[in-house]
Amino acid sequence: MTLVLLATTHRVAPGLLTWPAWQRLREARVLTAAADHPQLPYLRDAGIEIEVVPPDARPVVAAAREADVLWLTAPDGDAEFVERIGELVVDDPVDVEIVHGSYDLPGARLLDVVAVMAKLRTDCPWDRKQTHETLIPYLIEETYETADAVAQGDHVSLQEELGDVLMQVAFHSVVASEREDGFTIDDVAAGIVEKLVRRHPHVFAGLDVEGADEVVANWDAIKKAEKGDRPLLGGVPDSQPAPQLAENLVRKARKAGVPDELFEGYEERADKAKSVDTDLRDWSDRFRARVQAWERSSRG
């Protein structure tokens, strides 16, 4: 006789189970402690009888000594129950088999991000009052923190910082979904997928390319066709710090073949800006050191 522990993931639609899972479900007595388990309606539709019982491991193990029993674990995994099963079968063995009825697909945890953000937007007073405008400083800060992690080669921090950026994307999306003319995170994802497919014909449409330079040229040509009559510098955001704004404007203009005389005065002002930026950065480094010293002394 065998005790089967059937595990499923809530990130896959209920009822979509592996063939081995369906076989075990039809061969065994099916038990669960989760009366509201999302799989139950689909199992019952398939003619499978399920008994809802207390999460007591001892009678379940005893039943498995008499006939095959399948325990449908709750969406959270029933960790304490499963641990107790392990303790009971050490001294008095019974065959225990773990079967995965469904598996997370790559990217499945993104569903959790969406669900958590939706709940925060509803239940947290601070999250509830945020707008696109109030969130912008956090998006900028998290982006810079991500850049710092890359610059420092800190891959542990990079994972965390990318999560913070992802949270901002999810946050803006849930805020936008509340407007009549808004959009959802699915719209955001669909838009970037369509753009990536459209701008990579060498990957998705069989176009031959000879190297990265041709990929960039094709990207620029496709982008130009998409944007139509939009001004050449229309895609450069004004909200950047002044040095980056000027640098990006010049870079894009040079790439487009803008005449040299239109760049008059740039080099002089760029050098001056770099000097001011360097002075302020030096002050910031010294200020950081002073605050850290004060912090250490304050701790006694």
Residue 23: partners with Cβ closer than 8 Å, 6 or more residues away = none
**How confident is the model at residue 171, as a pLDDT?**
97
Per residue in 89-145, pLDDT tens?
A: 887 788 999 999 999 989 999 999 999 999 999 999 999 999 999 999 999 999 999
Place of tokens 């002089």: 268
**How confident is the model at residue 300, as a pLDDT?**
67
Domain positions in the chain are 2-100, 110-198
**How confident is the model at residue 241, as a pLDDT?**
81
Distances (CA, A) of 132 to 99, 135, 167: 45, 5, 13
Q: Does CATH number 1.10.287.1080 belong to domain 110-198?
A: yes
Q: In which residue ranges of the chain is pLDDT below 50?
A: none
31 DSSP β-pair partners: 51, 71
CATH number of 2-100: 3.40.1010
- Length of the chain, please? 300
Within 13 Å of residue 18, how many CA atoms lie on the same side as its CB? 13
CATH topology match: 2-100 vs 110-198: no
What does the alpha-carbon distance between residue 109 and residue 162 come to, in Å, rounded to a whole number?
Answer: 14
For 266-289, the DSSP string reads: HHHHHHHHHHHHHHHHHHHHHHHH
Distances (CA, A) of 37 to 9, 10, 77, 280: 11, 10, 12, 59
